Amino acid sequence: MKLLLDENLSRRIVSLIASHYPGSSQVALLGLERASDTAIWAYARQHDFIIVTKDSDFVDLSTLYGQPPKVIVLRTGNQTWQITAQTLIDRRELLESALIVANVAYFDLY
């Protein structure tokens, strides 16, 4: 499972999750920080990423275009990027299971 972290998630997360989610990246690391959501969607589709975000923009695109890519929406309170990374690692199996049956998975990470 290869994740593409949206701009609203720290690029520092990538190094912490790399061994659990090989090939994952963040939009700024790929030169997509100024790209439209549609361009990021197309990139994720072309390169077999699952988009991870904190907002609903990609949910709307999923409704409009279907999959791939699939989308994980993280609902987080005020927590550090380290905690977000650890939560992604700890809940990997749950994320995989949820995405088998749905295009979009919502996860509360409080």
Confidence tier at 20 by pLDDT (50, 70, 90): very high
Residues 6+ apart with CB under 8 A from 105: 70, 71, 72, 73, 95, 98, 99
Q: In the structure, what pLDDT confidence band is assigned to residue 27 with cuts at 50, 70 and 90?
A: very high
Query: What domain range includes position 91?
Result: 3-108
pLDDT tens, position by position, 81-102:
999 999 999 999 999 998 887 8
Domain total of the chain: 1
What is the pLDDT, as a whole number, of residue 110? Answer: 59
Per the CB < 8 A criterion, the answer to whether 102 and 83 are in contact is no
- pTM of the predicted model as reported, rounded to 2 decimal places: 0.93
